[in-house]
Amino acid sequence: MILFYYLSSILGLLAGNMFNYTAIILSQSISNSDTFSGWVFFFVCFPLLFLSFTAGRLLDKYSRKWLLAAAQISMACGSGFAALALHLEWISPGKPYLLLVSSVLSGIGLSFVMPGRFAILGDLLEHSKIGKHSVWLNTLVLFGYGLAPLVAGYFKEYFSFKYVFISIGSAYVLSVFFLILIPVQMRERSQASSGPGISELVAYLKNSPLVSQFLLLMGAVVLLVGPVQVLLPKYAKEILGLGEGERGALLSALGVGLVIGGGATFLLHGLKKKGHILFGSALFSCFLFSLIPFLAESLVLTSVCFFVFGFMTGVIITLIPAGIQQNTENHIRGRILSLYSLVFLLVPAFSGILSGFFSDRIGIPSTFVWSGFLEMGALIYLSWRMDQVRNHY
Interior/surface letters 42-62, b for 16+ CB within 10 angstroms, e for the rest: bbbbbbbeebbbbbbbbbbbe
Determine the Cα–Cα distance for residues 297 and 12; give it in Å rounded to an integer: 36
- pLDDT 10s digits, 113-126: 888 887 887 777 77
Question: Torsion angle of alpha carbons 215, 220, 226, 229, nearest 10°?
Answer: -70
Q: Is the pLDDT score of 271 beyond 70?
A: no
Going by the DSSP 8-state scheme, the letter that residue 97 receives in this structure is T
Element (H, E) at 146: helix 127-158
Strand partners of residue 92: 95
**pLDDT in the model for residue 139:** 74
Q: Who's near 75: CB < 8 A, 6+ residues apart?
A: 12, 15, 16, 19, 105, 106, 108, 109, 110, 113, 172
Which of 154-163, 271-280, 342-351, 384-393 has the lowest average pLDDT? 384-393
Q: Which domains, ranges and CATH numbers included, belong to the chain?
A: 1-182 (1.20.1250.20), 200-392 (1.20.1250.20)
Do 106 and 49 meet the contact criterion of CB atoms below 8 Å apart? Answer: no
Mean pLDDT along residues 184-205: 65
What would the pLDDT profile of 287-343 be if each residue is shown by its tens digit?
Answer: 999 999 998 888 889 989 989 998 998 888 888 887 887 788 777 877 888 788 888
pLDDT grade for 189, boundaries at 50, 70 and 90:
low
pLDDT at 369 over 90: yes
φ/ψ (deg, to 5) at 360: -60, -20
- The torsion defined by the Cα of 34, 39, 44 and 45, in degrees rounded to 10, comes to 110
**Beta partners for 95?**
92
pTM reported for the whole predicted model: 0.75
Q: What is the pLDDT of residue 120?
A: 84
Nearest CA to 139 out of 46, 56, 306, 261 is that of 261
What CA dihedral angle connects 189, 192, 197 and 202, to 10 degrees? -80
Distance of CA 274 to the CA centre of its chain: 22
Compute how many other C-beta atoms are within 10 angstroms of the C-beta atom of residue 162.
Answer: 15
> What single DSSP character describes residue 92?
B
| pLDDT attached to residue 27 | 92
Is the C-alpha dihedral spanning 41, 47, 53, 57 positive or negative? Answer: negative
For residues 209 and 386, give the distance between their C-alpha atoms in angstroms, rounded to a whole number: 9
Radius of gyration over alpha carbons of the chain, in Å? 20
- Per-residue DSSP letters for 215-247? HHHHHHHTTTHHHHHHHHHHIIIIIS---HHHH
Res. 199: pLDDT tops 70: yes
Share of the chain above pLDDT 70, in %: 93
Residues 81 and 169: their CA atoms lie apart, in Å, by: 10
Confidence of residue 158 (pLDDT cuts 50, 70, 90): confident
Supply the mean pLDDT for the chain: 84
229 — pLDDT class (breaks 50, 70, 90)? confident
pLDDT of residue 194: 45
Q: Which residues contact 353 (CB under 8 A, 6 or more apart)?
A: 35, 38, 39, 41, 42, 226, 230
Question: What does the pLDDT read at residue 192?
Answer: 47
